[in-house]
Structure 1
């Protein structure tokens, strides 16, 4: 972990099935299991550390964009599969993930999120309550949901896209887990309904996109809706034991903005940590991939875990 002016800089330390090899010239060279990909990366504005010939030699599949939002995967060997599998084990939890080549350059996992997965599993294991309740909003293919469930939490997974939830459920089966509650819902509407129902959670995870749509066409724009969302979600937290993670990818958001959002929604917040997630390449360069804010409250008799990503 690095730190500057109180802002943490965190990168995963437990990935065996993932490696960022190099990044630069608006691309990244990365290994998922045995498959090496080249994908666009708008934040890699510096030159590549390795020569282009080395990138060409090492990669298996390269993404070529047709537009700002879609493109095609070019395989060196046409027999390479469109789907494959990787695992993640941090010593507390062991999960499996199915990866796939999508037209949006994504493959089904954001590796930097492993930092948050470690925080989730450590915190859930530190709670005194026997089966804490965790809510994962904008939950995508379910990495954080799997970790929460594997750590013993009663887990609710909310995403607006049915096909993505189907993918997350496949990851649950691969991981040998059961009883995750799947909700194809607009996240903001779901939270407001939970408030009316009087439900409470010991953990809430938010990983909202910059833009998105609910299942009925509801529009989500991060800067327009995140303050409203934060005001509501903090009211869902159990008063005795809880944690909250807010993660954002928007290029216009800084850790200071996230800090302000959390403090305005919950002025009495304690143990607030803010910072930036990054991936460190084997060549030594660092790729920033989002900012976070997180806090937790344990029972009065509990000693906070010594979190070390």
Structure 2
């Protein structure tokens, strides 16, 4: 039997490096022990199907706040220390930009940041700094609390941030203020509708970031289901790319999606793609395990 490698793109495994304000300490038994600044949390993690490396006693000694779920998506936080903070700040810095985040305890276990995305933030700033255009236009779709928007703005881009939930756009604006940045364009809108309007307007962007959820709703009840809508989204989004110089990042956190699916999706939507990279994002626990946290596809082109 002859086995052929039919995919020309090498699959990468990437994890953030040198982030002092974040640490995945350990993960296992469907939980993760992680440090954000000086606050240590225990949160549910459905992908951590292996045993914990550290003992339960060590976990219990270290944590400050633990999320206890009432269901798969909601729950409440239990503080071991009643003086533990509900809100606090952390920072991120690479060679091209520095940003800050306000974190907080939400009823759906999130705290306002996805640390594995720092890998993509570095790719964004490297791309922006390599463009010939001194102020490239960047579009961040499904933009949440704005990590990618902030880093793009901090690197010098004219940045548009689109998310369907007004409260998280307000949160992102707060992050802009504490980061010492200004003039990000905030749009509360269904991402697919916004893209279609931009196509009609004839607008283009040098950079586009997509981090779509598996499921979601627009501000007017529009339904989003990743496998039903991502092809249409990608076929539209690639038409917004500046033909001379651009980058695009697609990040998905869905148990049913692989990097091969993302590669096929990008190549079919944008056959002239250059410098395509695909792979998996993960966090490296100090205790040893690697925690997978989604797959990505990204590519870029610089003017010659």
TM-score (normalizing by structure 2): 0.97
Shift of 1:81: 1.6
Please give the alpha-carbon distance, in whole angstroms, between the structure 2 residues aligned to 1:102 and 1:231. 34
Shift of 1:185: 0.4
Residue among 252, 266, 273 paired with 2:270:
266
Residue among 229, 237, 242 paired with 2:241:
237
> 1:78 — aligned with what?
82
Q: Does residue 101 of structure 2 align to residue 97 of structure 1?
A: yes
Q: Does residue 14 of structure 2 align to residue 10 of structure 1?
A: yes
> 1:226 — aligned with what?
230
Please give the alpha-carbon distance, in whole angstroms, between the structure 1 residues aligned to 2:101 and 2:221. 29
Runs of 4+ that moved beyond 2 A: none
Please give the alpha-carbon distance, in whole angstroms, between the structure 2 residues aligned to 1:109 and 1:76. 22
Where in structure 2 are the equivalents of 1:95-174 lying within 5 Å? Answer: 95-174=99-178
Q: CA contact under 8 A between 1:14 and 1:89: conserved in structure 2?
A: no
Please give the alpha-carbon distance, in whole angstroms, between the structure 1 residues aligned to 2:277 and 2:81. 45
Q: Secondary structure at the match of 1:224?
A: helix
> 1:214 — aligned with what?
218
Please give the alpha-carbon distance, in whole angstroms, between the structure 2 residues aligned to 1:144 and 1:14. 18
Please give the alpha-carbon distance, in whole angstroms, between the structure 1 residues aligned to 2:125 and 2:247. 11
Q: Deviations over 1:159-216 (max 9, x none)?
A: 0000000000000000000110000000000000000000000000000000000000
Q: Deviations over 1:119-175 (max 9, x none)?
A: 000100000012100000000000000000000000000000000000000000000
- Structure 1 unaligned blocks of 5 or more: 301-309
Q: After alignment, is 229-238 or 72-81 more displaced?
A: 72-81
> 2:4 — aligned with what?
none
Q: Secondary structure at the match of 2:181?
A: coil
Shift of 1:77: 1.2
TM-score (normalizing by structure 1): 0.95
Please give the alpha-carbon distance, in whole angstroms, between the structure 2 residues aligned to 1:278 and 1:136. 21
Q: Secondary structure at the match of 2:200?
A: helix
Please give the alpha-carbon distance, in whole angstroms, between the structure 2 residues aligned to 1:266 and 1:159. 24
Residue among 291, 295, 300 paired with 2:299:
295
Shift of 1:91: 2.2
> 1:307 — aligned with what?
none
Q: Secondary structure at the match of 1:38?
A: strand
Please give the alpha-carbon distance, in whole angstroms, between the structure 1 residues aligned to 2:253 and 2:134. 33
> 1:44 — aligned with what?
48
Q: Does residue 251 of structure 2 align to residue 247 of structure 1?
A: yes
Q: Secondary structure at the match of 1:124?
A: helix
Q: Does residue 261 of structure 2 align to residue 257 of structure 1?
A: yes
Please give the alpha-carbon distance, in whole angstroms, between the structure 2 residues aligned to 1:77 and 1:9. 37
